[in-house]
Structure 1
Amino acid sequence: MSAAGRAAPHPSGAPGSTPVPWEPLFHEKSRLYWPIRPLAEAFAGCAGWPPVEDYNRALGEGFPVRFAEQKPRPRRRGRRGPVDPSALYDARIHVEGCVPTRPRNWHDFLNMLVWGAFPRAKAELHARQHRAIAARLHPGAEALPPARTRELDGLALLDEGGLLLLYNNAGEAPLLGDASDLERCAGEVRDAVQRGEAAALVFGHALYESLLQRGPTVYAMVQPIPCDGPLPAAPAALVALADARLGDVLRSPDSFARPERSPRLPLDERVLCK
Structure 2
Amino acid sequence: MILPVVQMVLPIVLLLGLGTVCRKKQLLRPEGLAGLKTVVGDLCLPVVLFNAFFTAHYSLSVVLTFLAVYLGFGAALLAGFALRRLAAPHGRFFPFLLTSAEGGMLGYALYGVLMGEQSGFAAVDLGQTVFAYTAFLGALTMVDGQQVSIKGMVRNIVTNKCCIGMALGILLGAAGVGQWVLSGPAGGIVTGAIFMLTAPTSALVLLIVGYELELDRSLLRPVAVTVLCRLAVMGLLLAAVSFIVFRLIPYDRSLQIALMILYALPAPFIIPLFADVGDEGKYISTTLSVHTICTVLLFAAIAAFSLT
Structure-1-length-normalised TM-score:
0.29
- Larger helix fraction of residues: 2
Q: Return the structure number with greater relative CO, CA threshold 8 A, min gap 6.
A: 2
